Homo-oligomer: A and B are copies of this chain.
Amino acid sequence: MTVTDFLKTLGNSADAVNLTLERLLQMHDDPEAELIEAMRYAVLDGGKRIRPFLVVTSAALFNVKHERALRVAAAVEMVHCYSLVHDDLPAMDDDQLRRGQPTCHVRFGEATAILAGDALLTKAFEVLSDEKTHPDANVRSDLVLALARAAGPEGMVGGQMLDLIAESEELNMPEITRLQRMKTGMLIAVACEAGAILGKATPGAKHALHAYAHDLGLAFQIADDLLDVEGDEKTVGKKTGKDEEAGKATFVSLLGVERAREQAGVLAGQACDHLDLFGKKADSLRNLAAFVINRQA
Contact = CB atoms under 8 A, between A and B. Distances in A.
A1 interface: no
Nearest to A167: B111
Nearest to A157: B119
A130 interface: yes
A286 to B, nearest CB: 32
Chain copies in the assembled complex = 2
Contacts of A145: 126, 129-130
A287 B117 CA distance: 37
The 5 closest A-B pairs by CB, nearest first: A91-B110, A126-B148, A122-B152, A129-B144, A137-B137
A128 B152 CA distance: 14
Interface string A112-135: 101101110111011011100000
Interface in A206-224: none
A49 B118 CA distance: 22
A229 interface: no
Interface residues of A, number: 54
The binding surface of chain A is classed by DSSP as helix
Interface stretch (A5-13, A33-41, A54-62, A252-260): A33-41
B140 A32 contact: no
A137 B148 contact: no
23 contacts: A32-B158, A32-B165, A91-B114, A92-B111, A111-B164, A112-B161, A114-B114, A115-B157, A115-B161, A119-B152, A119-B157, A121-B122, A122-B148, A122-B153, A122-B157, A125-B148, A126-B144, A126-B148, A126-B149, A129-B148, A137-B137, A137-B140, A141-B144
A80 to B, nearest CB: 13
A118 to B, nearest CB: 5
A261 interface: no
A106 to B, nearest CB: 13
Contacts of A141: 129, 137, 140-141, 144
Contacts of A162: 31-32
A137 to B, nearest CB: 4
Interface in A20-67: 30-32, 34-36, 39
